[in-house]
């Protein structure tokens, strides 16, 4: 029996060894397969990393090229002043023309805005300004040397001295002081004209000072004294506020006038009705009296034509109606 047990243990040990050997061989195969997969993955990762490094170097190279081009573009206006038109081949806003029909100050303001929007240099601004001149304005260029026709300052000074409003400042100030609202002129038109004269007469003043002066001149120019007084009481600080207050006051006064007119019409209608009632009353009384008079005449008996006057013995009347008695009394 012991021999059988020993034999069983031996068989179990052998089976155990076989199983362990098989497991170990399977583990070795799995490890070998995993190592192979890891190797492949590492190779692929290295390949991808190489590609990324290549792309990164290309991107950095392109960025460097773009930075150099941008730097060249920024430096080009200073390095190539003789041909700045290359930088401004396409304009954002169309240039204006100056033919002396408009104010030089207004044109200069518009020209500065357009040149700033388009990014013009002084060289381009001078060229555009020369090209915009028409008629008598272009004749100013005849007094400027040919080598100075690209100098913006010289061109602007020549145009300012010929067409500028600087020498008319005192004239505009006098016109502003004596400005009065014309018959039939609206408050909006008056305010717009005051604002125009202010920009010409006090162009160098700060904006807050100009607004305060414009409000004062506007109030002084209003034709109606009641409107003037009301706006001064409101103490408006600028032209827009003064205009708004004056329009509100006139609107309120117009409504009040309309109400008074309606009440006046109603009073007149009531008076007319009373007159009509009185007239109808007296007319009815008169008609009644006339009717009574006619009726009385109809009821009066007719006189006998054969009656004889006892005084004069003539027919046709009685003694109290005798003409002979009347004639004797008068004599």
pLDDT at position 188: 93
pLDDT at position 13: 82
- Cα 153 to chain centroid distance, Å, stands at 35
Contact 126, 150 (CB under 8 A): yes
Treating both helix axes as pointing N-terminal to C-terminal, what angle do 239-299 and 225-234 enclose, rounded to 10 degrees?
140
**Structure tokens belonging to residue 224:** 């109606």
Rounded Cα distance, 128 and 111, in Å = 9
Contact 236, 242 (CB under 8 A): yes
pLDDT at position 75: 58
* SS3 sequence of the chain: CHHHHHHHHHHHHHHHHHHHHHHHHHHHHHHHHHHHHHHHHHHHHHHHHHHHHHHHHHHHHHHHHHHHHHHHHHHHHHHCCCCHHHHHCCCCCCCCCECCCCCHHHHHHHHHHHHHHHCCCHHHHHHHHHHHECHHHHHHHHHCCHHHCCCHHHHHHHHHHHHCCHHHHHHHHHHHHCCCCCCCCCHHHHHHHHHHHHHHHCCCCCHHHHHHHHHHHHHHHCCCHHHHHHHHHHCCCCHHHHHHHHHHHHHHHHHHHHHHHHHHHHHHHHHHHHHHHHHHHHHHHHHHHHHHHHHHHHHCCCCCCCCECCCCCCECCCHHHCHHHHHHHHC
Largest CA distance in the chain: 215
Rounded Cα distance, 187 and 246, in Å = 8
Name the residue among 222, 148, 217 with its Cα closest to residue 185.
222
pLDDT at position 82: 47
Domain ranges of the chain: 9-71, 104-163, 167-255
Contact 222, 181 (CB under 8 A): yes
Q: List the chain pLDDT tens, one digit each, 331 residues.
A: 667 777 777 877 888 888 888 788 888 888 888 888 888 888 888 888 888 888 888 888 888 888 888 877 665 544 444 454 444 444 466 778 888 777 788 888 889 898 888 888 999 999 999 998 988 888 888 889 988 888 999 998 888 888 877 667 888 889 999 999 999 999 999 999 999 888 888 877 888 888 999 999 999 999 988 888 888 888 888 999 999 998 888 888 887 665 555 455 555 666 667 776 776 776 677 777 777 765 655 555 555 667 777 777 777 776 777 776 655 555 5
The pTM of this model reads 0.40
Per-residue burial over 186-204, b = 16 or more CB atoms within 10 Å of its CB, e = otherwise: ebeebbebbbebbbbbbee
**Structure tokens belonging to residue 95:** 């240039």
The CATH topology of domain 167-255 is 1.10.1200
pLDDT at position 153: 92
């Amino acid at each position: 029996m012991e021999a059988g047990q020993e034999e069983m243990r031996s068989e179990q040990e052998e089976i155990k060894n076989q199983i362990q050997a098989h497991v170990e061989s399977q583990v070795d195969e799995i490890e070998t397969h995993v190592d192979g997969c890891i190797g492949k993955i590492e190779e692929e990762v290295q390949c991808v990393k190489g590609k990324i490094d290549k792309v990164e170097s290309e991107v950095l190279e392109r960025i460097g090229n773009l930075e150099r081009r941008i730097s060249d573009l920024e430096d080009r206006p200073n390095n190539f002043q003789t041909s700045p038109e290359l930088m401004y081949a396409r304009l954002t806003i169309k240039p204006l023309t100056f033919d002396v029909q408009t104010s030089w100050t207004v044109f200069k303001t518009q020209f500065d805005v357009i040149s700033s929007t388009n990014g013009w240099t002084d060289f381009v601004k001078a060229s555009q300004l020369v090209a915009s001149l028409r008629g008598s304005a272009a004749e100013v260029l005849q007094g400027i040397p040919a080598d100075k026709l690209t100098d913006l300052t010289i061109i602007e000074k020549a145009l300012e001295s010929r067409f500028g409003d600087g020498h008319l400042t005192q004239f505009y100030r006098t016109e502003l002081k004596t400005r009065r609202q014309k018959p039939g002129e609206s408050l909006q038109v008056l305010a717009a004209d005051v604002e125009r004269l202010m920009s010409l007469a006090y162009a160098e003043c700060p904006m807050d000072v100009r607004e305060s002066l414009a409000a004062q001149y506007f109030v002084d120019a209003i034709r109606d004294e009641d409107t003037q007084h009301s706006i001064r009481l409101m103490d408006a600080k600028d032209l827009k506020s003064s205009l708004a207050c004056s329009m509100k006051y006139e609107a309120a006064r117009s409504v009040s006038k309309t109400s008074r007119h309606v009440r006046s019409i109603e009073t007149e209608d009531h008076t007319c009705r009373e007159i009509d009632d009185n007239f109808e009353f007296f007319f009815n009384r008169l008609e009644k009296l006339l009717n009574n008079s006619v009726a009385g005449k109809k009821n009066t008996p007719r006189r006998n034509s054969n009656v004889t006057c006892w005084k004069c013995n003539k027919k046709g009347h009685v003694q109290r109606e005798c003409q002979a008695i009347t004639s004797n009394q008068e004599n």
